[in-house]
Amino acid sequence: MGAVVMVEITLTGGEILAAAVTRKAVDELGLGEGDQVYCLIKSVSIDDRLMAAPS
């Protein structure tokens, strides 16, 4: 298991937000599949190489 996990969050409108989260944060927050979360996006953390055109 790596130190970072990739998670997918389904937004209210149905769009998917992918995020890299440390395993430590997941464990400390007790996050699990299906949990409701709030997302904060830092513009300096957006990697346009990971952005795909909508299909």
What is residue 30's predicted lDDT score, i.e. its pLDDT?
94
Note the pLDDT tens digit of each residue in 16-48.
Answer: 998 888 999 999 999 999 999 998 887 766 677
> Hey, what are 55's tokens?
């299909």
Domain range annotation of the chain: 4-50
How many angstroms separate the CA atoms of 20 and 6, rounded? 5
Q: What is the DSSP letter of 39?
A: -
pTM value is: 0.60
Tell which residue, 52, 27, 34, 26, has the closest CA to residue 18. Answer: 52
| Residue in this structure with the two tokens 């997941």, named with its chain if needed | 26
Tell which residue, 19, 16, 17, 42, has the closest CA to residue 29. Answer: 19
